[in-house]
Amino acid sequence: MQRMRYERSLEENILPKGLQIGPPIFEDPDLIREINQRILTTLIFINLGVLVFSGILGYFLAGKTLTPIKVMLDEQNRFITDASHELKTPLTSLKSAFEVYLRDTGRTKKDADVLVRESVDEVNKLQKLSENLLTLSQFQNNGYIHFETVKLKEILQAAIHRIKPIAMKNKISIKNNDTKLTVYGNKENLTELFVILLDNAIKYSPSNTLVTITTQKTDGKVKVSVSDQGFGISKKDLPSIFDRFFRADNARVKKGAGGYGLGLAIAQKIVRNHNGIINVASTVKGSTFSVTLPRK
Ligand X SMILES: Nc1ncnc2c1ncn2[C@@H]1O[C@H](COP(=O)(O)OP(=O)(O)OP(=O)(O)O)[C@@H](O)[C@H]1O
Of 183 and 195, which has the nearer Cβ to Mg ion? 195
Contact letters (x/-) for Mg ion, 132-151, by CB under 5 A? Answer: --------------------
Q: Nearest residue by C-beta to ligand X? A: 259
- Considering the complex, what minimum distance in angstroms separates the CB of residue 242 from Mg ion? 11
Q: Nearest residue by C-beta to Mg ion? A: 263
- Considering the complex, what minimum distance in angstroms separates the CB of residue 75 from ligand X? 17
CA distance 262 to 245: 5
- Considering the complex, what minimum distance in angstroms separates the CB of residue 230 from ligand X? 5
List of long-range contacts for 33-42, beta carbons under 8 Å, 24+ apart: 34/2
- Considering the complex, what minimum distance in angstroms separates the CB of residue 261 from ligand X? 4
Q: Which of residues 148-207 bind ligand X (CB under 6 A)?
A: 200-201, 203-204
Which residues have CB under 8 Å from 174's CB, separation 6+? 160, 163, 164, 167, 198, 210, 211, 212, 213
Q: What single-letter amino acid sits at 261? A: G
- Considering the complex, what minimum distance in angstroms separates the CB of residue 128 from ligand X? 7
> Does the protein bind Mg ion through residue 282 (CB under 5 A)?
no
- Considering the complex, what minimum distance in angstroms separates the CB of residue 281 from ligand X? 11
Which stretch of DSSP H or E encloses residue 135? Answer: helix 109-140
Q: What angle do CA 195, 126, 262 make, to 5 degrees?
A: 40
Of 41 and 234, which has the nearer Cβ to Mg ion? 234
Which stretch of DSSP H or E encloses residue 273? Answer: helix 263-273
- Considering the complex, what minimum distance in angstroms separates the CB of residue 280 from Mg ion? 13
Contact letters (x/-) for ligand X, 108-147, by CB under 6 A? Answer: ------------------------x---------------
Of 6 and 190, which has the nearer Cβ to Mg ion? 190
List of long-range contacts for 158-162, beta carbons under 8 Å, 24+ apart: 158/187, 158/191, 159/191, 159/193, 159/194, 159/195, 159/198, 160/198, 160/213, 162/191, 162/195
Of 2 and 250, which has the nearer Cβ to ligand X? 250
Q: Which of residues 216-275 bind ligand X (CB under 6 A)?
A: 228, 230-233, 241, 246-248, 250, 258-265
Write out the DSSP string of 3-25: HHHHHHHIIIIISPTTPPP-SPP
Q: Which of residues 30-59 bind ligand X (CB under 6 A)?
A: none
Q: Which of residues 195-234 bind Mg ion (CB under 5 A)?
A: 200
By CB under 6 A, how many residues form the interface with ligand X?
24
Q: 286's torsion region: left (phi>0), alpha (psi -120 to 50) or beta?
A: left
> What strands, in cross-sheet order, belong to the sheet with 286-294?
172-176, 209-218, 221-227, 286-294, 277-283
When computed from its CA atoms, the radius of gyration of the chain, rounded to whole angstroms, is 37
CA distance 296 to 290: 19
Of 259 and 294, which has the nearer Cβ to Mg ion? 259
- Judging by DSSP bridges, how do beta strands 172-176 and 209-218 pair with one another? parallel
CA distance 277 to 267: 10
- Considering the complex, what minimum distance in angstroms separates the CB of residue 294 from Mg ion? 25
Positions that interact with Mg ion (CB under 5 A): 200, 259, 263
Positions that interact with ligand X (CB under 6 A): 132, 200-201, 203-204, 228, 230-233, 241, 246-248, 250, 258-265, 287
